[in-house]
Chain A
Amino acid sequence: MATIGTPDVRTRGLDAAYTPPTAARGDGVVAAYMGITAVVLALLMVFGLLMRASQAGVITIPANRFYQLLTAHGIGMVAISGLGGAGVMWFFLSRYVPLSRTILLANLACFLAGVVLVLGGIFVGGFAAGWTFLFPLPAHSLGVWGPGAAASYLAGVLLVGVGFLLLYLDTGRAIIRTYGSLGRALGWPQAFGKSAASAPPPTVVASTVVTIINVPAIAVGAVILTMSLVNAYAPAFRVNALLAKNLIYFFGHVFINSAIYMGVIGVYEILPAFTGRPWKSTRPFLLAWTATMLMVVAVYPHHLFMDYANPRWANVLGQILSYTSGLPVLAVTAIATLANVYRSGMRWNVTSSLLFASVMGWSVGVIPAIVDGTIAINRVMHNTLWVPGHFHIYLLLGVVAMLFGFMYFLSSLHGGAEGALDRAAFWSYVVGGMAFAVVFLAAGAMSVPRRWAVHLAPWMGLDRLGAAFALVVVAAALVFAASFLRRVRATGG
């Protein structure tokens, strides 16, 4: 197999000893994944900007249209983070295990077909139950949308899930075929035993964790989607509302965390190419990933703290795990990132800057999230704008920065060079994104509720600030997206 390109280390900041990855069948599909990710991210950010501008009173969006945008923005961001993350994971994992290009394509086909159904349900049928589609709202719109719109949305999400399920079954198959078992791929012989063999590379460890946690998450999501679908046409078929919430938040929490875990593979693989310091699967690294894998599937009750009827032990466990679940991987990754970059003699460019910033965003965003994961504080923060405040830090400045960083890396392998506009976009994105999220946090501290189409006058000052920073972020994201598409197209990638 041939290498993808001959990187120019002087202009791209890559370490002189760096060898670009060998081209794999499927790299073109990965480029398509990332191209779609770039376009959809930019579009969904425009939706976000429109919503903030409307809340600020700068423009007027009717409430029904606002809630449609809200639904599309939410489900779209979850799904596209998954798609982009899958692109990053597949690109690097395919260097270690024999993945199926056909399955990669099948996932993309399911995704695109699902998106058509979802968008049809929302913007044609008027479906606006929020991305969380809490039961029984999909079938209980009070005449705003019909069962057809609900079915289109639910079936679309189900189809997207089927595609991802196929993908993770394939990664599981390929990992087991190469390493013998999932335990070996997690490095358990090295972490818990005395094996002297080399541990699996970080990409394989992270991919194995994502595979293990996402298969049950998607299966559980499919269960509640199917039950909601049946309920849309047969109202007599009812689901316990609390059970439905448990299923939805288990699915949603694990899936979006997996997007971060897939995106961070880009950090593990690409940052060392700049610093010349390889990322190693050390024992703490292996232990951290196993610990996070076990905890992340049990932490979701922190979404249910204000459901007092939920078993108290589950909510207490949710708080304890909120403090501990993400930290092993995050702490190991953050400290290793800092150590990898510290006095490395590296040169910064947009790729390395975005990847470094993504770990910063992930780390910083976890702080207000853990604060909100405290039941006593959640009582006055839950479903205020504090919540989008913290998740926009670790999604916008975390996983999305990872995805854009990977796009710059990918296009540089194909020979594209970045310019001053790209660098300006980086600073605009990081500074504007942080300010945008901090405005959310400030509004949350003022008790402004989330998901309100119309805001009261005292809240609008912060809304206007938020809209202004959103404009900066959207402009930067448009530059990132256009730059990637232009460079990949120009080089025939």
Chain B
Amino acid sequence: MEQRIAVLVSTVLGVLLLGVFAAVARSAGRSGSAEEIAAGAARWRRAVLWGLVGVFVPTIAFSLTRTPYPSAGQTAAVVVQATGHQWTWEVAPDTVPARELVEIRVTGADVNHGLGVYDLNDRLITQAQAMPGYTNVIRHTFATPGTYRILCLEYCGLGHHTMVSKLVVSAAR
């Protein structure tokens, strides 16, 4: 879902902007009044400024209600301890129930790692950094049973790309 939003927004706005630059580049061969164009640019600048304010304020406000940071008052059905080592994951337990809140406590034993959880279609669904000295808590409800993959998402040295593990999501209890 988030990936689709990212692609859609970036494509639409990117193509629009490219079109504006291309149109202006094509116009460069003709001549116009610099004063009139400057006045028009000032109007555009104001319109763009207020347009961005109008879009940004509600977007920021809404998106900040969707952060992955855990909030107090949630009780997880299962707590998983996930520790990154050079170059392996230690995940216990490695099986969790579907459709129940799971808490994954992520840390790094030696250097920084990144715990990325990939769904059955190999799409990244959530992640947190695995830092030495800190525990980052992911709370997530897995909708579908199956074997989810864990990939390292923070560069941690020679074996970074070999840090692949799994988390089994079983049918609901």
Contacts and interface: CB of A to CB of B under 8 A. Distances in A.
Interface string A365-376: 001100110111
Contacts of A242: 131, 133-134
Contacts of A446: 122-123
A275 B138 CA distance: 55
Contacts of B52: 327, 331
Nearest to B5: A377
Given A140-B111, A308-B70, A341 B25 contact: yes
Given A140-B111, A331-B48, A356 B25 contact: yes
Contact of A382 (B5, B10, B44, B127): B127
A277 interface: yes
A142 B30 CA distance: 64
B126 A451 contact: no
A8 interface: no
A398 to B, nearest CB: 13
Interface stretch (A109-117, A178-186, A261-269, A342-350): A342-350
Nearest to B8: A371
A320 interface: yes
Contact of B127 (A276, A367, A379): A379
A63 B131 contact: no
Contact of A306 (B34, B41, B122, B129): B129
A339 B64 contact: no
A336 B56 CA distance: 22
Interface in A375-396: 375-377, 379-384, 386
Q: What DSSP secondary structure best describes chain A's contact surface?
A: helix
Nearest to A374: B63
Contacts of B110: 136, 140
A458 B137 contact: no
Contacts of A22: none
A73 to B, nearest CB: 13
Interface string A133-148: 0101100111010000
A367 B67 contact: no
A172 to B, nearest CB: 30
Contacts of B133: 240-242
B123 A447 contact: yes
B68 interface: yes
Nearest to A320: B60
Nearest to A363: B17
Nearest to B136: A308
Interface string A321-353: 001100100011001101101111111100000
Contact of A384 (B124, B132, B158, B159): B124
Interface stretch (B72-80, B91-99, B148-156): B148-156
Q: What DSSP secondary structure best describes chain B's contact surface?
A: mixed
Contacts of B86: 140, 142
A308 B66 CA distance: 14
Q: Which of B32, B108, B133 has the most CB of A within 10 A?
A: B133
A441 interface: yes
Contact of B132 (A241, A308, A332, A381): A241
Nearest to A454: B161
B133 to A, nearest CB: 6
A120 interface: no
Contact of A380 (B2, B14, B60, B112): B2
Interface string B13-39: 110011011001101111110100110
A128 B111 contact: no
Contacts of A245: 112, 131
Contact of B128 (A130, A306, A376): A306
A453 interface: yes
A316 B64 contact: yes
Contacts of A331: 45, 48-49, 52
Contacts of A364: 14, 17-18
Q: Which of A356, A386, A445 has the most CB of B within 10 A?
A: A445
Q: Which of B28, B37, B138 has the most CB of A within 10 A?
A: B28
Nearest to B131: A241
B32 A377 contact: no
B114 interface: yes
B154 A447 contact: no
Contacts of A309: 131, 134-136
Contacts of B45: 284, 331-332, 335
B167 to A, nearest CB: 16
A152 interface: no
14 contacts: A64-B158, A137-B112, A137-B157, A241-B112, A241-B133, A306-B136, A307-B131, A339-B44, A342-B24, A345-B28, A363-B21, A368-B14, A376-B66, A377-B2
Per CB-CB distance, the 10 closest pairs between chain A and chain B, nearest first, are A343-B32, A339-B41, A345-B31, A447-B124, A376-B66, A308-B136, A452-B161, A383-B153, A309-B134, A360-B21
Given A315-B69, A367-B9, A382-B127, 20 more contacts: A64-B158, A128-B157, A132-B155, A136-B132, A140-B111, A306-B128, A307-B129, A308-B69, A309-B136, A327-B52, A341-B28, A343-B37, A347-B29, A348-B25, A364-B14, A367-B13, A367-B14, A371-B5, A376-B66, A379-B2
